[in-house]
Amino acid sequence: MLSSSPTVPAAAVLEPIEKGNSLWHDAWLRLRKNRLAVFGMWALAIITVACLFGPLVMHYGYEDQNLDLGASPPSAAHWLGTDTLGRDLLVRLFYGGRVSLAVGLSATLVALSIGVVYGAIAGFFGGKLDAVMMRTVDIMYSLPFPIFVILLMVFFGRNIILLFVAIGAVEWLTMARIVRGQVQSIKKMEFIEAARSLGLGRRRIIFRHILPNVLGPIIVYTTLTIPGVMLLEAFLSFLGLGVQPPMSSWGVLIKDGAEKMEEFPWLLIFPGTIFSLTLFSLNFLGDGLRDALDVRSSKD
């Protein structure tokens, strides 16, 4: 691009710039060809919209009990049946989904912010600082973190904000490694040299020039972190340590369902299916994005 000869008409040089975003456009085209990823996108969109707006159109409230009815299998009035207190399972799935998705997104955001900043600093400055920071990450990788999250949740009350932070604080390590590797290779490129010679500050170079070029891997691993986070939340809820009643999440519903599955199997089957379907979709989408954005493992 830089070596294009001056005889080329200005319009021809400008054309690719006008199209802009061609990298992202190409990636989008590739993604759309991946059937599983498209399936994942649609499934996620439908599940999210249903959880957000479903409760508004339902006839039953979240805590409306019908003790005469008790636990009833799926019927015309209650499409997915009711639980032992006669509460509509579909409505409870919507509300539980709101919490599960919210935990997934916010804890991922925590992990994303810590991981990106940490990795960018280690990668950009290199040398001793990098060595110390990455050894720390290595050591933290070998710590039994879910155990600490369990202790935190038991000792400091089962508070949902703490849950976000605790999960986010566990899941940032991989992101930090990936960002650091990418930053390391990008900072040696000429346009960074150019930015430096223009006298830009370090912070501006990192955030305005390097990180935008690491966006592909960041997007891919963010997508793949969300299912991990949701799994950890459900794991904690299953042990009775996550989201607490009267709030609910898919993990809580699965736990309740597993306790009563002998008599009322639908209480386990529906929450389990919707939760697994969501994780499926996120994993498919993440895999598809990785292929579309051509993110290879950082080693080769």
Residues that bind other proteins (CB under 8 A): 135, 138-139, 141-144, 146-148, 150-151, 154-156, 227, 231, 234-235, 238-239, 241, 251, 254-255, 257-258, 261-262, 265, 268-269, 272, 275-276, 279-280, 283-284
Least separation, in Å, of the C-beta of 117 and other proteins? 23
Q: Which residue lies nearer to other proteins by CB, 206 or 241?
A: 241
Q: Which residue lies nearer to other proteins by CB, 145 or 207?
A: 145
Least separation, in Å, of the C-beta of 147 and other proteins? 6
Least separation, in Å, of the C-beta of 87 and other proteins? 20
Q: In 10 A of CB 37, how many CB atoms? A: 23
Least separation, in Å, of the C-beta of 283 and other proteins? 6
Least separation, in Å, of the C-beta of 297 and other proteins? 8
Q: Which residue lies nearer to other proteins by CB, 211 or 252?
A: 252
Q: Which residue lies nearer to other proteins by CB, 99 or 234?
A: 234
Q: Which residue lies nearer to other proteins by CB, 39 or 207?
A: 39
Q: Say how far apart CA 37 and CA 237 lie, in whole Å.
A: 29
